[in-house]
A and B are shown apart, each in its own frame.
Chain A
Amino acid sequence: MDPSTHPGPNSTGTGHINSFNPINSHNTTTNITYVNERAKLLNWLSPLQPRVRHNDVRGRREPGLGEWFLQADEFLRWRDGIGGFDKATLFGSGNPGVGKTFLRYDRKNNPSEG
């Protein structure tokens, strides 16, 4: 059997992950298995939960704080690679308490997102 055409044993329901319709609304049992398998896989990738911290930070942010950062040349050059800007890394340097954690990437102001 060529493994590339058979990504997973269908008996576990994981084969659905490779279909174009991952949630099979006609088959509840498959859905539950699928969700559990996916949760197990995600936890296997890492036990860390950065999204929990992220949502906490987001909830404590005051709107408008850190606007200067999103307009800074350093930020824009890095984000858009303007003028052959070749550095992939932007390092925000600052002492504790200056607000590094609370800077954020603003999707609304990103022109590359349609």
Chain B
Amino acid sequence: MAVVCLYCDFQDQEKQTAANMIGALTKQLVNALKIVPPEIEKAFERAEREVGGRGLQVAETVKLLQAALAPVNRTFICIDALDECPDKHLSQLLTSLHTISQASPDIRLFITGRPHIRSAVERYLPAGAQVIPISPSSEDTKEYLEIELGRDLDSEAMSPALRADILKRIPEKIPDTYVIAIPALKAQRDH
């Protein structure tokens, strides 16, 4: 079994082309394999012989990824923040993943992103996706708050009553306040 991942990032749009992203999945699989699959080895040698070292096209990267997937019985592909993938590469990336998924039904794709990207996921992956809304559970929030409060260097500013109040009230107002409350708390603490 293998787990490979990709983190889409607004700041890295220039490098995050569909070919490079698919290639990054292949790279992780090859890195984990003792033996480089012969198809990949041969393609690399061909590319090396070409003057200027030609870059990979998307269709080629799909074939190479399939070659890297073949020796692994089950692969989980995780793609984080798909909404940060540039539009021009998004359709190619998802179409490629669809091709791969159709050819190897054992593959599991886990994609995260803001809710608006769901329509693109469903358009390019016509087999459909199970959607799971992600929000921190109140347990998560409590635990996170405990950790942050534990890191508080200025213990005099915190009374047991305030502490109990924070642990009670913030998890109740999740998820809306979560994003706002944590940095706000930190800022308050730092003054």
Q: Using Cβ atoms and an 8 Å threshold, which residues of chain B touch A1?
A: none
Instruction: Mark interface residues in B127-141 (1 if CB within 8 Å of A CB, else 0).
Output: 111111111110110
| Cβ contacts A78-92/B at 8 Å (1 or 0 each) | 110000011111111
Q: Are B132 and A75 in contact (CB under 8 A)?
A: yes
Query: Which B residues touch A100, using CB under 8 A?
Result: 80-81, 112-113, 134
B44's nearest neighbour on chain A, judged by CB, is A41
User: A86 to B129, alpha carbons, bound, how many Å?
Assistant: 9
B3 touches A67 (CB 8 A): no
Enumerate chain A residues within 8 angstroms of B91, measured Cβ to Cβ. Answer: none
Known contacts A88-B108, A88-B127; A72/B132 CB under 8 A: yes
Binds A, one of B18-26, B154-162, B163-171: B18-26
The verdict on B191 contacting chain A, using a C-beta distance below 8 Å, is no
How many A-B contacts at CB < 8 Å in the complex? 207
Instruction: Say yes or no: is B149 at the interface (Cβ < 8 Å to chain A).
Output: no
B interface secondary structure, majority:
mixed
B133 in contact with A50 (CB, 8 Å) = no
- For residue A62, CB closer than 8 A to chain B, the reply is yes
Write out the residue numbers on chain A whose beta carbons fall within 8 Å of the beta carbon of B4.
50
Closest to B19 in A: A46
CA distance A9 to B24 in the complex (A): 26
CB B32 to nearest CB in A, in angstroms, measures 10
Partner of B128, one of A89, A93, A99, A105: A89
**A113: Cβ under 8 A from any B Cβ:** yes
Determine the chain A residues whose CB is within 8 A of the CB of B3 once the complex forms: 105, 107
Least distance between B41 CB and chain A CB atoms (Å): 6
Q: Judge whether A95 and B78 touch: CB under 8 Å.
A: no
Report, nearest first, the 6 A-B pairs whose CB atoms are least far apart. Answer: A46-B23, A94-B134, A97-B179, A89-B129, A100-B112, A92-B112
Taking Cβ atoms with an 8 Å cutoff, the residues of A that contact B are 3-4, 7-8, 14, 17-18, 20, 22, 38, 40-42, 44-51, 53-54, 57, 62, 64-69, 72, 74-75, 77-79, 85-101, 103, 105, 107, 110, 112-113
A-B CB contact pairs (8 Å), 21 listed: A14-B45, A38-B36, A44-B53, A48-B6, A51-B5, A53-B9, A87-B128, A88-B125, A88-B127, A89-B101, A89-B128, A89-B129, A90-B111, A92-B132, A92-B133, A92-B134, A93-B118, A93-B133, A94-B134, A100-B80, A101-B7
